Structure 1
Amino acid sequence: MEGSKAFVLQHGGKASFFDCHRQFLPLNHPYRRQKDKFKKGVIERSPPPPRLSGDVIQNRVNSLPDIVFGTTSGKQTIPGFGVHHNWWLKDLRLPDGYASNIARAVSVEDCKFFGLKSHDCHILMQRLIPIAFRDILPKAVWDELTELSHFFRDITAIILFVDNIEILEKNIIETICKLEKIFPPGFFDSMDHLPIHIAYEAKVGGPVQYRWMYPFERFLFYLKKKVQNKASVEGSIVEAYIIEEISTFCSHHFEPQIPIRLNKVPRNDDGGNIEPMGRISIFTHSGRPFGRIPHRRIMSNEEYSAAHIYVLLNSYVEKNEVEERIYQIAQGPGRTVQSYKGYFVNGFKFHTHDYGRDRKTLNSGVWVKGSCYNEYESDYYNLLNEVLQLEYFGVGNNIILFKCEWFDTNKGIRVHPQNGHIEIHPKSRLASNDPFILALQAQQQEDDISRPLEILPTTELDDPCLLFDSNHIVELDENELQHLVQPSREDEEEEEEDEEEDEDEDENENNKDDDSDDD
């Protein structure tokens, strides 16, 4: 703990990194001068510690002695744990492929999680913590936990920019200093100190997906499954791995139509690219329906007019397109349409709201990105009610439309100004005569690009009554307050009577003891 200002707690004996992070702040930062919010009476004036080179770190690691880890402790329970806690995760449903079935890992009886994968822990940390504590904690505390959650979400993004990493490097220092105003010193061990250096490591080494431990752990688990002879574990793994290498090399010479591991179809395959074959571009969008035989029905006049106008507004025709193709789309679709239960497009799986009502996954939510971001337009969110296939004149001239129920973008959707957290009121609907979108426009989640915002210092955490519940505070008038401070005459008489009764009981006990001694 050299140069880190870490210390050992006097009574707990635990190494604490409390108040070790103000030194990373700018020299003119207001948190450096606060004496009563961190260590009592301490003003931070020291600069951040210098970064060690790779050779120095390697030499220090090699000089460390062998350490034996492992301690055993009995089962410790917290009074009221599992009784007053909100186990809403038991009913949680997520999109297909977004995470595993987290609800299955919740044990309400034991108040624990069982069988969570590493990716599930990332989902809990980066996505679900802001939702879980939104209505439980005070706003100032919730803001800091959300900032920490969004930091890990941004730092693990697939695409990182140097400018954004520098913002993250400043934000995490600010966030941990704010957390020190909330949690006790025993909370801040070495693991809570390490995020200070993660942003710098990402700037030097690149995205974390190529440096963290999870691919190696998965590959080790893959090798362990190859063990058939437990008496010779290493030889069994080597033999199975060589056979797999040979079979993979030979599979490169197979015909393309033969299904092998190298040409395995993705989980949510949308069918690939479609050849134009003389058709205009709107008829060549990739996608694949799923489910049993589609249901055929006739569209109403309102549905027919809205669907046809939307297709015309989103059609792009080249100048060299012949009049026959333009005539085909201008005539409009047939009134009889095919209705499917679900559709694969853009690498996502969508199903209608009624079809997925009793399923473990929730794939009826649709996100449509706005064409331009200004005060008049934003992103749109809706529920998928129906997947319709429209048939136009000509061979193969089919279009898939999603019939959706839109949430109100003005009253039903709220975006947090600082962290961008989106809240959608489930009962707020948008009154619109345009329920259709092209299947190609449907998305389920935003692109994995880091877009952090700079965090500013706040004074909301300086309130000493921040963690008190204001619902239990009752106003008292002067008479009631005086009654609490100075007890009434009746209370004094009752106390005197209780004292006399206690004295009488003590005398009776002493007399009994004397009688027993005489006997």
Structure 2
Amino acid sequence: MYKEKKEILCTVVKKCRTPDGCASNFSRCVNMKELTLTGLKSHDCHVILQDILPVALLHCYPSKDFMIIVVELANFFKKLCSKVLDVSELDKLQESIVKTLCNMEKVFLPSFFTVMVHLMVHLVEEAKLGGPVHYRWMYPLERSFVWLKSLVRNRAYPEGSIAEGYTVEECLTFCSRFLEGTTRFTRTSRNPDPSDNTKGMYMFDSVGEPIGKAVTIGQLDDQLLVQAHRYVLRHSDELDDLRREFLDQEKRKPGNLNLTDDDNEDLISRHFADWLEQKVILDDGLDITEKIRALAAKPSKCGVRYSGYIINGFRFHTISRETGHVTQNSGVVNLAENGVSYYGRLSDIFELSYKDYKVVFFKCDWYDVHHKAGIIRDEFGFTHVNFSRKIHTGEKLEDEPFVFSSQVDQVFYIQNPRSENWNTMVKFKPRDIFDMGGEPSSDETE
């Protein structure tokens, strides 16, 4: 590369901030004077190859053919090194790496193709025979060898020193299991997702853990309270039958015979809350559960605000909290019912109380995904989001800036060096969560 392109590449890597626990602080590994990357750990190299390098090369790649090769290699290793492998997808993965090597032969010189480059052809077959790759990596063994070397005190008898140090470590490990308090065997994981909740009953199954200092809000803004309450009524499964009953009554009114889906959504948003409150007051039937009564009574005007939240294995921070941090935990993506993915950044976290039930909301800065001025999907499969094009800001009553804490996944954004407003979205999977698939059948269990 020329110096100008090297500067662009190093700038992208240096300014890249990944979520907590994803990778190291890349800003320490980039030397802008010499334009080099140093001090990377093995895992950091994987993250750069699979996620960051293709995005960085978008702004300085020499040719389209070269960029296609890099993207194909990144996708190959990302799928191969994932924690869960689908056997049916491995055959397609094998075909893709063969085509990638053929494309590489068109671009690179013959001296480039060493044994290590040819080894990629056999990696898929190894995964079929041995299972997921990360169980067979040498990195844990290399770290254990370093620890064993550190036990040597007498260089004349290294074997005895290692044996004696290992025995002492085993004794301390055994004793620590019976100590009171927090030890490395009893401490929680980095991003815990507790199944029980000590703060009261939550309305939804996915229960998270607040982090940071909780701030009690004396009085919520009326418009914010109405918007949040409408969102709960529209997306609560317990109210499906009552929403249909409400729409049936509205359609019987004069002038409402040919209502569209948008009209139905508007009716539910504007009038369903008052209708539900009156129905619960007048009707004392068996279908009115305690949860429905709590929803109809509307939430308390006092809430609790957090600066961080852990749920589904993700550690979320608000934009204001991560200011000055080297990590980025505010990126969110929400897959709507219509199949559209909405991208944004977390701006506020607050908790509303419905009698014995509580709901945690994420208020986000959502960006326009319906026009090219707000989102672009390029020929290499990357999604670019324009931070200057915001939607559902909450200024209007009909806006929806909220989602439930259990409805979003985490992403992180890599800034375009040529335009501050445009950022490339990169998906991120939690490090401590494994996809175990569906429930096994009785035959598989036996």
TM-score normalised over the length of structure 1: 0.63
1:203 maps to which of 128, 135, 150: 128
Amino acid corresponding to residue 165 of structure 2 in structure 1: A
Matches within 5 A, 1:202-241: 202-241=127-166
**1:288-329, Cα deviation, whole Å (9 max, x unpaired):** 222235152533332111101112233344998864442222
Contact 1:158 1:207 in 2 (8 A): yes
Matches within 5 A, 1:62-77: none
* Residue aligning to 2:14: 90
1:440 aligns with 2:443: no
* Residue aligning to 1:165: 90
* Residue aligning to 1:292: 213
> What SS does structure 1 have at the residue aligned with 2:409?
coil
Deviation at residue 83 of structure 1 after TM alignment: 6.8
* Residue aligning to 1:153: 78
Partners of 2:341 and 2:353 lie apart in 1 by: 29
**1:341-372, Cα deviation, whole Å (9 max, x unpaired):** 1112222211111221221111111122344x
* Residue aligning to 1:347: 313
* Residue aligning to 1:378: 340
Partners of 2:89 and 2:293 lie apart in 1 by: 50
- In structure 2, the CA distance between the partners of 1:175 and 1:207, relative to structure 1 (3 Å rule), is same
Contact 1:95 1:361 in 2 (8 A): yes
Partners of 1:322 and 1:222 lie apart in 2 by: 62
**1:212-270, Cα deviation, whole Å (9 max, x unpaired):** 21121122223234344445433222222222223334455x38x64232222111224
Partners of 1:84 and 1:327 lie apart in 2 by: 61
- In structure 2, the CA distance between the partners of 1:216 and 1:284, relative to structure 1 (3 Å rule), is same
- In structure 2, the CA distance between the partners of 1:262 and 1:216, relative to structure 1 (3 Å rule), is same
Contact 1:340 1:386 in 2 (8 A): yes
Deviation at residue 107 of structure 1 after TM alignment: 1.4
Contact 1:282 1:316 in 2 (8 A): no
Deviates more, 1:91-100 or 1:204-213: 204-213
Structure with larger Rg: 1
Residue segments in structure 1 that go unaligned for 5+ positions in a row: 1-77, 451-519
Contact 2:220 2:302 in 1 (8 A): yes
1:413 maps to which of 361, 375, 382: 375
Partners of 2:188 and 2:86 lie apart in 1 by: 32
Aligned residue pairs total 362
Matches within 5 A, 1:220-299: 220-252=145-177, 254=178, 258-274=181-197, 279=201, 282=203, 285-294=206-215, 296-299=217-220
* Residue aligning to 1:362: 328
Amino acid corresponding to residue 273 of structure 1 in structure 2: D
Residue segments in structure 2 that go unaligned for 5+ positions in a row: 242-285, 394-398, 411-426, 436-446
Once superposed, what is the RMSD of the aligned Cα atoms? 3.0
1:425 aligns with 2:386: yes
* Residue aligning to 2:109: 184
Contact 1:273 1:285 in 2 (8 A): no
**1:121-169, Cα deviation, whole Å (9 max, x unpaired):** 0011111121011122233331221011111111111111222111111
Contact 2:322 2:328 in 1 (8 A): yes
Partners of 1:174 and 1:439 lie apart in 2 by: 42
> What SS does structure 1 have at the residue aligned with 2:361?
strand
* Residue aligning to 1:126: 50
Partners of 1:154 and 1:284 lie apart in 2 by: 30
Contact 1:403 1:435 in 2 (8 A): yes
Q: RCO greater where, 1 or 2, for CA within 8 Å and sep 6 or more? A: 2
> What SS does structure 1 have at the residue aligned with 2:391?
coil
Deviates more, 1:204-213 or 1:165-174: 204-213
- In structure 2, the CA distance between the partners of 1:199 and 1:439, relative to structure 1 (3 Å rule), is same
> What SS does structure 1 have at the residue aligned with 2:303?
strand
- In structure 2, the CA distance between the partners of 1:340 and 1:447, relative to structure 1 (3 Å rule), is closer
- In structure 2, the CA distance between the partners of 1:79 and 1:167, relative to structure 1 (3 Å rule), is closer
Partners of 1:223 and 1:360 lie apart in 2 by: 32
Residue identity (%): 34
Partners of 1:292 and 1:276 lie apart in 2 by: 15
1:327 aligns with 2:267: no
Partners of 2:298 and 2:183 lie apart in 1 by: 43
Task: Write 1 or 2 for the structure with the bigger share of strand.
Answer: 2
* Residue aligning to 2:29: 105
Partners of 1:83 and 1:285 lie apart in 2 by: 45
Contact 2:19 2:327 in 1 (8 A): yes
Partners of 1:265 and 1:211 lie apart in 2 by: 26
Amino acid corresponding to residue 378 of structure 1 in structure 2: V
Partners of 1:317 and 1:243 lie apart in 2 by: 57
Partners of 1:293 and 1:97 lie apart in 2 by: 23
Deviation at residue 206 of structure 1 after TM alignment: 1.6
Partners of 2:330 and 2:87 lie apart in 1 by: 36
* Residue aligning to 1:388: 350
Deviation at residue 197 of structure 1 after TM alignment: 1.3
Deviation at residue 381 of structure 1 after TM alignment: 1.4
Amino acid corresponding to residue 173 of structure 2 in structure 1: T
1:313 aligns with 2:238: no
Amino acid corresponding to residue 189 of structure 1 in structure 2: T
Deviates more, 1:119-128 or 1:217-226: 217-226
Amino acid corresponding to residue 407 of structure 1 in structure 2: Y
Contact 1:82 1:111 in 2 (8 A): no
> What SS does structure 2 have at the residue aligned with 1:353?
coil
